[in-house]
Amino acid sequence: MAARSARIDAARGCAVFGILLVNIWGFVHGYALQRYTDLAGAMPLADQAVLFFVTAFAEQKFYPIFSFLFGAGFVLQTGRRRAPGPALDAIRAKYLRRVRWLLACGVVHGAFFWFGDILTTYALLGFWLVQFAGVRLASLWRTLWLLVALNGAILIVYAVAVVATPAPSLDDAISMAYETQRIHAVYTQGGWLAIARERLSDYATNLAAGWIIWPRIALLFMLGVIAARMGCLTRPQRMRRFWRTLAILALVVGLPLNLWAGAAAVSAAMQPFAALPLTALGPLVQELAGPLLGGGYLAAFMLARRTLAAWLVPVGRMALTNYLMQSLIAMLTLQGFALGLGKTLGALHLMLLAFAIMAAQTLFSHWWMAHHPQGPMETWWRRYTDGKPRV
C-alpha cells in the first residue's frame, strides 16, 4: 500500500470538521435542516451571521471533498492498471469486504445515531466503484463524461422544477412552519422512543432522496479516482498548474456565488412566508458553486509548500472515528432523551458547540495517534477487511 500523504490526511481532517458545521443543525431540526424556529421569522443578528457563514463557506463544500478523497482512496487501496486475473480478483474481493463493513456501520449509524449518515451511500456506491479496479484510464474518462451528462440532466430538471413550482399558499407555509417546530420539539424534548421514530423516518427519507445525491457522489468518486491515477494528489508539485487554475476559479466564480447563496439563506430565514423565487434558487446555485469552492479549499492544501494545517493530519488519519464520534456527542448533548441542550441553543451556540467538539477531537486524535497506528474504528475496519472471507 502506498505511503500516507500528510496533505491528503490534513484535507480529510478539514472535511470532517467542515461536515460537522453543517450536520449539527440536523440534530435539533431534523431532515429539513430548517434555519429558523420562530414563525415570525425573527432571528438575532448573531444567528444571522452564523447562518450566512455556514451557508456561504460550509454547506456543499466539505462532503464533496470527502467524496473526492474517497474515490482517490480507492486507487490507493486497489492500485493502478492491472491485467485481469487472480491478483485483480483478490484485490476486488478485499475491497468488497471493505464496503460490506462500511455498509453495516452506516446502517447502524443512520438508524441509531444520525439520520443524515453518508456511509450507507458510500458503501452502496462502493459496490459499483469496485468494477473500476485495475481498468484503463481511458475507460475512467468515458465513465466520468457519462456521469457529467447525467448530473447535468438532473440539475436541469431540478432547475425547471424550482422555477415552475408555484410558491406555497400562506396556509401551506404556516403548516410547514408548524411541522418544523414539531420536529424540533421531538428531537430536543422528546424521549428516546419518540426521537428514534423520527430519526428512522428521516433516515428513510434520506435514503429515498438518493436518486438525487448518488449520481453526484458517483461523479465525485470518479473525479477522485482519475485525479489519483494522474498523480494530482500524490504528486501535487507536478500538477501545480491544475490546482492553481482550480483555486482561481473557486475564488473568482465560486466565492461570489456562495456569498450570494448565504445572503439568500438569511433572507429566506427572515421572511419564511414570502414568495422569493430568487431565494428559492439559492440551493440550486450551491449545487454548482459549493463544490467549486470546496475544490478551492482542497487546492489550498495541495498548493501549500508545507502541509497546510498540519495539526489536522491526526484528525484525518482517523476520520471515520471522528465522524461517528461527532454524531454520538451531538446526540447526547442536544437531544431530549439526554442533556437536551438543543431546546435552548440558537445558531450561534450550535456553531460554538461544533467548534468545541472539533477542539476536543483534535486533542483526542493527537493523543490517540501518538500511541496507535490507526483510529479505533479504522482498526476494526481493517481487521475485517484483511481477514479471510468466510466460505
Distances (CA, A) of 151 to 214, 216, 238: 10, 6, 30
- 1 falls within a domain: no
- 98 falls within a domain: yes
340: left (phi over 0), alpha (psi -120 to 50) or beta: left
- 21 falls within a domain: yes
Give residue 167's pLDDT band: very low, low, confident or very high (50, 70, 90).
low
Give the model's pLDDT for residue 95.
94
Q: What is the mean pLDDT of the chain?
A: 88
Lowest-confidence region among 144-148, 265-269, 312-316, 353-357: 265-269
319 and 87 Cβ atoms separated by less than 8 Å: no
Lowest-confidence region among 107-116, 159-168, 243-252: 159-168
Q: What's the per-residue H, E or C state across the chain? A: CCCCCHHHHHHHHHHHHHHHHHHHHHHHHCCCCCCCCCCCCCCCHHHHHHHHHHHHHCCCCHHHHHHHHHHHHHHHHHCCCCCCCHHHHHHHHHHHHHHHHHHHHHHHHHHHCCCCCCHHHHHHHHHHHHHHCCCCHHHHHHHHHHHHHHHHHHHHHHHHHHHHCCCCCHHHHHHHHHHHHHHHHHHHHCCHHHHHHHHHHHHHHHHHCHHHHHHHHHHHHHHHHHHHHHCCCCCHHHHHHHHHHHHHHHHHHHHHHHHHHHHHHHHHHHCCCCCCHHHHCHHHHHHHHHHHHHHHHHHHHHHCCCCCCHHHHHHHHCHHHHHHHHHHHHHHHHCCCCCCHHHCCCHHHHHHHHHHHHHHHHHHHHHHHHHCCCCHHHHHHHHHHHCCCCC
- 391 falls within a domain: no
207 vs 211: CA distance, rounded Å: 9
Give the model's pLDDT for residue 40.
54
* Number of domains making up the chain: 1
Give the model's pLDDT for residue 292.
95
- 256 falls within a domain: yes
Give residue 151's pLDDT band: very low, low, confident or very high (50, 70, 90).
very high
Write the pLDDT tens digit of every residue in 198-223: 999 999 988 888 778 899 999 999 99
Give the model's pLDDT for residue 272.
65
Give the model's pLDDT for residue 391.
31
**Segments forming the whole domain that contains residue 19:** 6-386
- 15 falls within a domain: yes
Region 185-199: what's the mean pLDDT?
95
Write the pLDDT tens digit of every residue in 5-51: 889 999 999 999 999 999 999 999 887 655 554 555 577 889 889 99
377 vs 284: CA distance, rounded Å: 35
Write the pLDDT tens digit of every residue in 274-332: 655 555 677 778 888 999 999 999 999 999 887 778 899 999 999 999 999 999 999 99
* pTM (global) more than 0.85: yes
- 202 falls within a domain: yes
- 368 falls within a domain: yes
Give the model's pLDDT for residue 390.
41
- Res. 388: pLDDT tops 60: no
Q: Residue-wise over 211-221: b if at least 16 C-beta within 10 A, else e?
A: eebebbbbbbb
